């Protein structure tokens, strides 16, 4: 087979994946940017080109800034906690403990549950007076509280659900990375008299940096992507206290039918995630040690 024929065969094998990638990734992206430059049609009118008007409207929109700040708080609260909890769980179940397989299954179970089902379970936990959390609080003499109806506790309550759901998923990656470490490293550290904490800090954590970078990228994406539990539990309320950016985009596009403004908000979200991804690879990429 000649080189040119082999190249043709290679491109033909790639063609189905390339078509799907263009149709469902590149074309929607270009279309979103294009529609963000148009003002939505009104009754009896066609959409008309408005340039950056939708972006100016986003800059002047207080609800947008509320959703963005809530999303930032949500990300800062869930990402470090879920990653730290995932690492702690992975270190625990990687040891020889009784019932290790059962513990691993228990940690991973929340991951396989649909977020809608998880939200309904936690909705019962947070129910005033009758919910499990209020029952425990009452037993401790802390009194009853409307966790999802209070602007001060609605967003932290949703963050707790996300941490519970995400930690088991990230644990799997850390567990796989820990099992790939050579046992000779621990043996050498023990012979040198290094403590377990020193071995963890100086050997294990640096070698886990590629996994940490991968998990961090996924955690940031999930922090801006997951809205299922918000739809079920709070609907962005009360008074926009739990409104996040993606849910606001959904409301603008499918409730208010302003697709031009929703497209502009989507472009802002994608640009924000792209900037965060480049920052992560620029900062953490220097500390990644590949074996």
- At 83 the pLDDT is 94
Say what the pLDDT of residue 9 is: 81
Backbone phi and psi for residue 211, each to the nearest 5 degrees, phi listed first: -65, -40
What is the structure's pLDDT at 237?
83
Q: Is the pLDDT confidence value at 1 over 80?
A: no
Q: What is d(CA 143, CA 79) in angstroms, rounded to the nearest whole number?
A: 30
What is the C-alpha separation between 87 and 21, in angstroms, rounded? 34
Residues 249, 263: Cα–Cα separation, whole Å: 8
Beta bridge partners of 39: 48
pLDDT of residue 161: 92
Weakest-pLDDT range from 187-191, 254-258, 273-277: 187-191
Reading the block at residue 35, the tokens are 């529609």
- pLDDT band for position 266 (50/70/90)? very high
Q: Is pLDDT larger for residue 128 or for residue 267? A: 267
- pLDDT at position 42 is 60
Lowest mean pLDDT among 21-30, 180-189, 242-251: 180-189
75-84, 98-107, 135-144, 183-192: which is most confident? 75-84
- Can you give the pLDDT at residue 44? 52
For the residues 209-235, what does the mean pLDDT come to?
A: 89
Pick from 6-10, 22-26, 71-75, 169-173: least confident: 6-10
pLDDT digits (tens, 9 = 90+) for 85-134: 999 999 998 888 888 888 888 888 888 888 888 888 898 898 888 888 88
- Name the percent of the chain in helix, strand, coil, to the closest 5: 75, 0, 25
pTM: 0.86
Per-residue buried b or exposed e for 7-38, using 16+ beta carbons within 10 Å of the residue's own CB = eeeeeeeeeeeeeeeeeeeeeeeeebeebbbb
Residue 163: its pLDDT value, please?
A: 93
Residue with token string 């007076």: 129
Q: How far apart are CA 57 and CA 64, in angstroms?
A: 9
């Amino acid at each position: 087979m000649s080189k040119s024929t082999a190249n043709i065969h290679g491109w033909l094998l790639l063609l189905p994946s390339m078509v799907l990638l263009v149709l469902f990734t590149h074309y929607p992206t270009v279309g979103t940017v294009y529609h963000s430059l148009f003002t939505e049609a009104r009754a009896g009118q066609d959409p008309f080109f408005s340039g950056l008007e939708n972006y100016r409207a986003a800059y002047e929109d207080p609800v947008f800034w509320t959703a963005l700040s809530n999303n930032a708080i949500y990300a800062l609260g869930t990402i470090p906690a879920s990653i730290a909890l995932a690492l702690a769980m992975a270190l625990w179940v990687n040891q020889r403990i009784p019932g290790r397989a059962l513990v691993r299954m228990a940690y991973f179970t929340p991951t396989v549950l649909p977020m809608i089902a998880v939200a309904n379970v936690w909705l019962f936990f947070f129910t005033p007076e009758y919910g499990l959390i209020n029952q425990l609080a009452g037993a401790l003499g802390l009194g009853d509280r409307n966790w999802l109806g209070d602007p001060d506790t609605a967003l932290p309550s949703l963050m707790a659900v996300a941490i519970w759901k995400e930690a088991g998923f990230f644990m799997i990656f850390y567990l796989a990375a820990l099992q790939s470490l050579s046992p000779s490293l621990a043996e050498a550290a023990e012979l040198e008299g290094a403590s377990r904490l020193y071995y963890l800090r100086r050997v294990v954590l640096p070698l886990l940096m590629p996994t940490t970078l991968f998990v961090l990228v996924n955690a940031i994406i999930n922090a801006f992507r997951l809205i299922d539990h918000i739809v079920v539990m709070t609907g962005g309320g009360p008074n926009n206290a739990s409104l996040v950016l993606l849910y606001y985009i959904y409301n603008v596009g499918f409730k208010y039918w302003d697709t031009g403004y929703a497209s502009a908000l989507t472009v802002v979200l994608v640009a924000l995630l792209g900037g965060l991804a480049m920052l992560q690879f620029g900062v953490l990429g220097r500390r990644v040690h590949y074996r």
